[in-house]
Structure 1
């Protein structure tokens, strides 16, 4: 399969174009709608299993947040595998990220649409919308853009590139779950996850979003005005939200640790200095007391000759 795809790419490079219109015509929208519904029900089922199992005893936050994060983690894991295998099986998607589509990549976009719809409903139904307004805005924009692409059966390649952020979400949610179950920040497993989170954030979140933002200025003539306005608004919000999120992570997991080590070192030096001063003072006091004892000794009367 991979060899055939490479051959098709070489053929395209030599001037032979793929018939993208036949790809689009082979996809039926009703299949996508059914799959979105199945995706939504699947995540509701995962939530029910987690609720039946119950949270760990070490949980310090509310149970709903713990379940919500676990459902998000499962979505991130499944979607990451799906997206990576899509790029491996169909590398020709990069030949035209706007028109290329097949059922494998189409259902991937449907699966993600179902998840974001489920999670948005979960947040609203549980009265968390006010406290999690960033999540509400994010999910409305993402779910709306994904379904728009599903409806048009186009821009699926863009959807796949955007969904590579879920590779980072695996570690982002994993880190938060560690915090909720009171895993020590100084532990090795927390340190591994937090650094994998920062590295994957740059590779699979900031870079893909920057690439999509770049295409706004190079492929605008190939999409409708409505789509361009929607994707422009979405990307401005995504770029802003993710830049803020990355800075928060750096402050929490890098700068705070550095400041803590600096503070510990300063306290250690101050403590050592205090000990030395105290020791010197004790020695001085001790010497003074010795001199006082010697000087205050009563003089013996001289023996008379």
Structure 2
């Protein structure tokens, strides 16, 4: 896929996720979630992205095993398209949060999205590091459960331990693998790209640590509610 096509896919993706977000407005909304309808729409759109890209990332590695061996230069139309589509989503979500939340409420995710958009844009335009970008999207498999949990909470329900299990497998293990790979191949990567990758992984690792703490805290509170003794 050439540069023009890749940018077109990114733009169409951003518009498509925006349309999906708008369409959710007209779907039935649980009574407890009506107090925060924007958040329901935003998380529902994020769930659609996670379901799509998480499955797509697994498919990329399944159909092209060499992608996992060479995260720098190996790429395919499938992997290039995936990263372009995901970049479009993050652009949409960045704008959605910036327009509908205060900076104090969303600065962490805005910073996260800025880093992701920068790294993914480099991969999309240069066709290098696409394997690395696809590997990072394996995290979206856990995001399916995180977003589902958020929707359940908004609708007044609770979630299961499956969230914690997928967090460990698809976030902790995937990010650990990416950090190990970046460290082992640091001599092959330009300093500017290495700095960007290191900063991105450091930020995401920090955010995941906080997210894991919150998940464990909420899980502990749920256990205490079930068994006060």
**TM-score tier (shorter):** over 0.9
Determine the structure 2 residue equivalent to 1:34: 8
CA contact (8 A) 2:119 2:196 kept: yes
Q: Residues 19-98 of structure 1: matches in 2 within 5 Å? A: 27-59=1-33, 61-98=35-72
1:221 to 1:174, Cα distance in 2 relative to 1, 3 A: same
Query: Using the alignment, how far apart are the partners of 1:128 and 1:149 within structure 2?
Result: 30
Query: Using the alignment, how far apart are the partners of 1:58 and 1:102 within structure 2?
Result: 44
Determine the structure 2 residue equivalent to 1:257: 222
> In the alignment, which of 185, 196, 204 is matched to residue 170 of structure 2?
204
CA RMSD of aligned residues (A): 1.4
> In the alignment, which of 210, 222, 234 is matched to residue 200 of structure 2?
234
How far has the Cα of 1:44 moved from its partner? 0.7
Greater Rg over alpha carbons, structure: 1
Q: Which fold has the larger relative contact order, with Cα–Cα distance below 8 Å and residues 6 or more apart in sequence? A: 2
Query: Using the alignment, how far apart are the partners of 1:261 and 1:42 within structure 2?
Result: 42
How far has the Cα of 1:131 moved from its partner? 0.6
> In the alignment, which of 133, 140, 146 is matched to residue 159 of structure 1?
133
State the 4+ residue runs in structure 1 displaced beyond 4 angstroms: none
CA contact (8 A) 1:77 1:170 kept: yes
Task: Count matched residues.
Answer: 229
Determine the structure 1 residue equivalent to 2:209: 243
How far has the Cα of 1:261 moved from its partner? 4.9
How far has the Cα of 1:54 moved from its partner? 5.0
Query: Using the alignment, how far apart are the partners of 1:95 and 1:207 within structure 2?
Result: 17
How far has the Cα of 1:92 moved from its partner? 1.6
CA contact (8 A) 2:98 2:106 kept: no
How far has the Cα of 1:95 moved from its partner? 2.5
CA contact (8 A) 1:56 1:181 kept: yes
TM-score w.r.t. the length of structure 1 is 0.72
TM-score w.r.t. the length of structure 2 is 0.95
Q: Which runs of 5+ in 2 are unaligned?
A: none
2:150 is equivalent to residue 176 of structure 1: yes
Query: Using the alignment, how far apart are the partners of 2:138 and 2:13 within structure 1?
Result: 18
Determine the structure 2 residue equivalent to 1:279: none
Q: Residues 71-150 of structure 1: matches in 2 within 5 Å? A: 71-150=45-124
Query: Using the alignment, how far apart are the partners of 1:197 and 1:219 within structure 2?
Result: 32
Query: Using the alignment, how far apart are the partners of 2:224 and 2:27 within structure 1?
Result: 39
Paired residue secondary structure (1:145): helix
Q: Residues 277-288 of structure 1: matches in 2 within 5 Å? A: none
